[in-house]
Amino acid sequence: MIYKVSTIEQTAVSAKVTNSGTVGLCINSAPVFNNSCNSTIIEHTIYNCEVNATDKNNNPITFTSVFTTEPEQFNISSDGTIYFAAEDEGNHSVIITIDDNTGCSNSQNALTFDFEIININDPPELLANIPGQSIPDGVQVSVFYLDSYFRDPDGEDLTYTVSGNSNIDIQIFESTSEVLMYSTVCDAQENVIFTAKDPINQTADSNSVRLNVSCATEATSSNPTGTSSHTGSIAGSYTPCDPDWQCADWTRCTAEGIQTKTCEDLNHCDLNHYIHVLERDCIYVAPPLCDENWECTIWSPCPYTGIQTRTCTDLNECGTIHYQPEEEQDCEYTPTCSDGLQNQGETGTDCGGPCPACTIIEIPGIIKERSNILTNILFLIIIIILSLLIIYKYFHKQINSGIVKMVWMITGKKIKRFLLSEPEKKNVLAELLKVEQGLTNNNIIKNREAVAHVARVYFAYAVDLKPEFVKEELAKGIKQKRIDELYEKVFVSFFNKVEKFEFEKTNIYKTDLEMMIEELRELVHETSKFKKEDVGKEIIEKQIPTSASSVIKIKSIMRNIYITMLFEETETAKNKYSEILKIYETLSEKKKQEIYEDITRLFNEITYFLSLKK
């Protein structure tokens, strides 16, 4: 309830002054909206709706509106009728106010009317009929631009096709809508129709366009030999010429918002018009202060995932990627008999079907006793085997360290073989450095493929193969190169690891990649004319956290061993190898199996390294 004071006055009563006045009461209920207008409106339509409101006191209600967003053409009459042309696509908001005109403080109420104007795609339109055309035979001619005859009401880009042509070759440049015509059929006549299509496949057809091909002049006084001006024509005849258009990439967007590319007819069918420069609009991005200069490795072999990769490096190290080339692309994987997968109709993994037959494992039957002599021999063999197992178990630790030292003491000297040329050496080391500089815990999968790719490049250089080689080709190449038997074991073992990186979905960690990079760098060191400065960076020995697992400690020490070998520190390498053996003895059999091949390969590499004549 609202109290309204009309006036206040003073009146003298019994010699006293008192206040008196008239009090007015404003008893009112606020008007209430009952809006049922649709909040979704179709573009290019007239919107008409009546906003409903009620007042308990049956007072007359007046409607007004205030815009909070466009469109400003929104209009509401005093009786609540909304009427406007819906043109501005998007979300809009209007505050509608109702007033019961009582003058009370609660005489008004407001409603925010949110509505959306939805774009309904309009098909392309033909602006004007396309005129007929007459072209000479044997010459490619630019006749018109289809964008001059078609438009899209929604402002979308249009694509064009043509139908009805058989003897006349019609080429439409998508970026500019330029139409080129060419025919070798003299006096040909055809009616064609051009079709414009928008991005959601709505179309519009042109009128039927009449095309005529006029015959070239056979001989003129300016050409006394009787040959036509068209290349290859003699005595008024002509030689058919099919244009072969090849286009370069689009240039960078200029400050004027234009990109260009040059297209050339490699057959030069029309000597006056065999080069076209095309243009298109683009969004200009101001060049960075640093000019990017990207250099990419060759694409990796196609793995079973069907995605091959390469590594691109900005030689100027701008820190921006405005013009960075693609580093991944789809490819078609070709199965082999050594990819560790059961595919291409194989009956087993890498065997059967198109591959060599699978090995048949025969289960021995029960050996029947034929004579006392045979029984005694078998019994003696079993006793010997058990004795050897006991001896191996007891002396296992001493066998590892003792045999290693003995082998290294009696290792003979040999001349180092250079399997890599100077450019090949520099290329492999540079690629390794690129991978190493981008190595983080967030891109392990990408970098494992990159390291495997560099390893393949190394093997391809060392034994004259293509990077896509398979294991059988590597073995053949090793034989042909007559590589040292000890280093042959290193090559085969290391390539087994490369294939694991390529094909097996096992967990690979940053430590594994660091170890493999240093091992690959050491392989280059042992098979090329290597100088310390070839490394191209300062190499620091990896610090091993005391909390690291035993396997991580072994892998970290192995990485450090490869570094010491780069700098010819033989005694350090041997001492660190002894540290590995001590940790190795503490591992479970399962963990030993995981690391055994890496340690064996390291032993062979150290042995070969010690055997080289300095």
The two tokens of residue 38 are 């649709």
Domains 32-118 and 125-281 share a fold: yes
Query: Would you state the pLDDT for residue 370?
Result: 41
Q: What percentage of the chain exceeds 90 in pLDDT? A: 6
User: Mean of the pLDDT values across residues 230-241?
Assistant: 41
- Position 161 scores a pLDDT of 93
Is the pLDDT confidence value at 315 over 90? no
- How does residue 38 score in pLDDT terms, banded at 50, 70 and 90? confident
Contact 597, 605 (CB under 8 A): no
Could you write out the three-class secondary structure of 180-229? Answer: EEECCCCCCEEEEEEEEECCCCCEEECCCEEEEEECCCCCCCCCCCCCCC
Give DSSP secondary structure letters for 398-409: HHHHHHHHHHHH
* pLDDT band at 19; cut points 50, 70, 90: low
Tens-digit pLDDT profile for residues 358-380? 765 433 333 334 445 666 676 67
Which of 597, 595, 579, 598 minimizes the C-alpha distance to 587? Answer: 595
pLDDT of residue 402: 54
What band does 13 get if pLDDT is binned at 50, 70 and 90? very low
Lowest mean pLDDT among 19-23, 106-110, 318-322: 19-23
The tokens for 154 are 């929604």
Whether 399 shows a pLDDT value over 70: the answer reads no
What local confidence, expressed as pLDDT, does residue 207 receive? 94
* pLDDT confidence of residue 604: 86
Predicted pLDDT of residue 6: 44
Most confident stretch, 229-233, 250-254, 394-398:
250-254
Per residue in 446-462, pLDDT (tens digit) is 788 888 889 999 999 98
Q: Which residues, including other chains, have CB under 8 Å from residue 443's CB and lie 6 or more apart?
A: none
Decide if 21 contacts 7 (C-beta within 8 A). yes
Nearest to 90 by CA among 66, 73, 75, 69: 69
pLDDT for the residue numbered 373: 65
Q: Where are the domains of the chain?
A: 32-118, 125-281, 376-408, 411-611
CB atoms closer than 10 angstroms to residue 462: 25
Q: What is the pLDDT of residue 364?
A: 37
- pLDDT reported for residue 272: 64
Residue pair 574/606 in contact (Cβ under 8 Å)? The answer is yes
Q: How confident is the model at residue 126 (pLDDT cuts 50, 70, 90)?
A: very high
Q: What is the mean pLDDT of the chain?
A: 78
Torsion angle, alpha carbons of 76, 79, 81, 84, to 10: -30
Question: Lowest mean pLDDT: which of 163-167, 282-286, 408-412, 466-470?
Answer: 408-412
The domain made up of 125-281 has a fold known as Immunoglobulin-like (2.60.40)
pLDDT of res. 614: 61
512, with CB counted inside 10 A (0-12, 13-18, 19+), is buried
CATH class of 32-118: mainly beta
Q: What is the pTM of this model?
A: 0.39
The more confident residue out of 71 and 215 is 215
CB-facing half-sphere around the CA of 63: CA atoms within 13 A: 22
User: What is the pLDDT at residue 226?
Assistant: 35
Distances (CA, A) of 201 to 152, 158, 207: 12, 10, 19
Question: Which has the closest alpha carbon to 144: 129, 134, 130, 127?
Answer: 130
pLDDT band at 435; cut points 50, 70, 90: confident
pLDDT at 208 over 90: yes
Residue written as tokens 């795609």? 121
Task: Say which range, 49-53, 166-170, 344-348, has the weakest mean pLDDT.
Answer: 344-348
Is residue 191 within 8 A of residue 209, CB to CB? The reply is yes
* Residue 390: per-residue pLDDT: 54
